[in-house]
Structure 1
């Protein structure tokens, strides 16, 4: 199956899950976050980069709040230009604003860049057990992961997002660990 077809299929499954059982989705999100905060990579990490989960995605806001409470340095993505994001430090979710056209939450400014990242929480539509990742097709995260190749990487996903095989191109970067529910 082509990447574009896989994207459509997984988006449809994720949307159905979100729309039909928000209570179960919330419970799964909490359980995934609990496994993540008990992971050795999280415990060792001081500087963490995490995407902001929207609607159908895993709610990473809960993770970010917990990490800040645990006195971790947290950065989130800010789109700088086409195919480029920077890791911007935040002190609170209140440091974020909705950015059109999709209402994605981003830091207000891009002044406080996190340079030395220990752990990256990687978004994706689907993953495989070899660390293969199907992103949204923009190339933002592959470029970011390549620049931050020393960081540990963890992806969170629902079981239906964990596939037998993800088609990979030469520029695609694998994640090191996947936590699923």
Structure 2
């Protein structure tokens, strides 16, 4: 695989997502959030890794707020550390960090095993492997876990390549939820 194919694909997906986010993002977010909520309930997930959304990602903030109010649900988000991240319990206040990503404060509390990880994507290749922003943080995080939670990729509009662009270490979804 040539790197320029993957980076060209990433750029074209980001361009499509930026356009989509301007036109009908609110409506698409609502549809996807309902699907995610149904998926979480159907699978009885209790320990859920979500993310604090960037502009072109599905805005899961309303879902985070809703899940936090449910007694047996624990919501975790990434906290960047080195070349990857660790999971921390979602709590306020959030602070803007590297790459413009908001995070809660660091926590030394050891998180439970997550049942379900909802991961934003820029695109997927022909075999359903994640194309992200190119930093590899999610790939390294899941590679270092000693267990495998259910992985759900989410995106406003599915941006899928008909070619295999991924490397062996790129993570693959169990499910993809889009509008």
Please report the TM-score for the alignment, with normalisation by the length of structure 1: 0.86
From 140, 144, 147, give the equivalent of 2:141: 144
| Contact 2:123/2:130 (<8 A) preserved | yes
Residue 103 of structure 1: how far off its partner (Å)? 2.4
1:73 maps to 2:78? no
**Higher relative CO (CA 8 A, sep ≥ 6), structure 1 or 2?**
2
Gaps of 5+ in 2: none
Please report the TM-score for the alignment, with normalisation by the length of structure 2: 0.87
SS of the residue corresponding to residue 161 of structure 1 reads coil
User: How large is the Cα RMSD of the aligned pairs?
Assistant: 2.0
**Cα separation, 1, equivalents of 2:56 and 2:93:** 22
Residue 121 of structure 1: how far off its partner (Å)? 0.6
| Contact 1:126/1:166 (<8 A) preserved | no
From 109, 115, 119, give the equivalent of 2:116: 119
**Cα separation, 1, equivalents of 2:116 and 2:8:** 30
| Contact 1:131/1:177 (<8 A) preserved | no
Match of 1:168 in 2: 166
1:1-181 paired onto structure 2 within 5 Å: 2-19=5-22, 21=23, 24-39=24-39, 43-71=43-71, 72-81=73-82, 83-90=83-90, 92=91, 94-100=92-98, 102-128=99-125, 130-148=127-145, 149-181=147-179
SS of the residue corresponding to residue 141 of structure 1 reads helix
SS of the residue corresponding to residue 34 of structure 2 reads helix
| Higher strand residue share | 1
Q: Residue deviations 1:33-82, cap 9 Å, x none?
A: 1011111576411111111111121101112112112231011111111x
Aligned length: 174
Gaps of 5+ in 1: none
